[in-house]
Structure 1
Amino acid sequence: MVSASEQFTAQFPTQLPAASRAQVEAQLDFVTSLAQSGVDSVAKLTALNIGAIRTVLDEYPKAMHQRLAAATPQEWLATASAQMAPTLERAVDYGRQLAELTLETQTAISRAAQQAGSGK
């Protein structure tokens, strides 16, 4: 696969001095790396959100049927309380995964910036 900087410099080989060409290549590589990181992060975030939505859609009807089956207010409260712990665990897990994704994205952006700064 040909990189964006190689495509650009192939189109304008004699019009750019070597120093300018290196700078343009570094900038194109940096932008390409940022774009790839962004697309990867959006794909992971989308998958995380779809998974969370599926879980809610799968479990909500069952939970509501259990609550509606309660004969007394005490049974309803007991059922609702029992359903709260797994829901809270899922919310905490979602937050953990979101934080990991955020850190992963920040790391990728930092790595791209360092590589651009060092000229690699």
Structure 2
Amino acid sequence: MVSAAEQFTAQLPAASRAQVEAQVDFVTSLAQSGVDSMAKLTALNMDAIRSVLDEYPKAMHARLAASTPQEWLATASAQVAPTLERAVDYGRQLAELTLETQTALSRAAQQAGSHKQ
């Protein structure tokens, strides 16, 4: 028995069929880019969360071990640079991911545009 989709496809002219196939390829490419980007963003965020969960208790124990306000301040100040460095690195990686995603989407759009011509 022939399905409705097969009957519909069989009745489409070749040009229309090619256009539908190009649209399906375009949507599939966009979806794949989106899924890949979300997976990378999730991994980046999970790494950031793990880093915080690893470093926070150590930092708090070091601060609590200080016996004077000067020691506490020195300990806290020493922890600022590594934290700032991690934040800058996270921002850099996020920017790279954003650029990578924009490039993939642009590439998919260009490929879709070349199929129309």
Count of residues in Structure 1 that have an aligned counterpart in Structure 2: 116
Taking a change above 3 Å as real, the CA distance of residues 67 and 9 of structure 1, as seen in their structure-2 partners, is farther
Q: Is the 8 A contact 1:34 1:109 kept in 2?
A: yes
User: What's the CA shift for 1:19?
Assistant: 1.3
User: What's the CA shift for 1:8?
Assistant: 9.4
Q: 1:110 aligned to 2:106?
A: yes
Taking a change above 3 Å as real, the CA distance of residues 26 and 114 of structure 1, as seen in their structure-2 partners, is same
Mapped to 1, the partners of 2:70 and 2:108 lie a distance apart of 57
Q: Normalising by the residue count of structure 1, what TM-score does the alignment of the two structures yield?
A: 0.87
Mapped to 1, the partners of 2:77 and 2:4 lie a distance apart of 56
Which 4+ runs in 1 deviate beyond 4 A? 1-10
Aligned to 1:33: 29
Output one character per residue of 1:50-76: Cα deviation in whole Å (capped at 9) or x when no partner.
Answer: 000001101111100000111111111
RMSD of aligned Cα (Å): 4.1
In structure 1, list runs of 5 or more residues that go unmatched.
none
User: What's the CA shift for 1:105?
Assistant: 0.3
Deviates more, 1:1-10 or 1:62-71: 1-10
Mapped to 1, the partners of 2:50 and 2:26 lie a distance apart of 36
Output one character per residue of 1:10-48: Cα deviation in whole Å (capped at 9) or x when no partner.
Answer: 8xxxx1111111110111000000000000000000000
Q: Is the 8 A contact 1:66 1:79 kept in 2?
A: yes
In structure 2, list runs of 5 or more residues that go unmatched.
none
Query: RCO higher in 1 or 2 (8 Å CA, sep ≥ 6)?
Result: 2
% same residue: 91
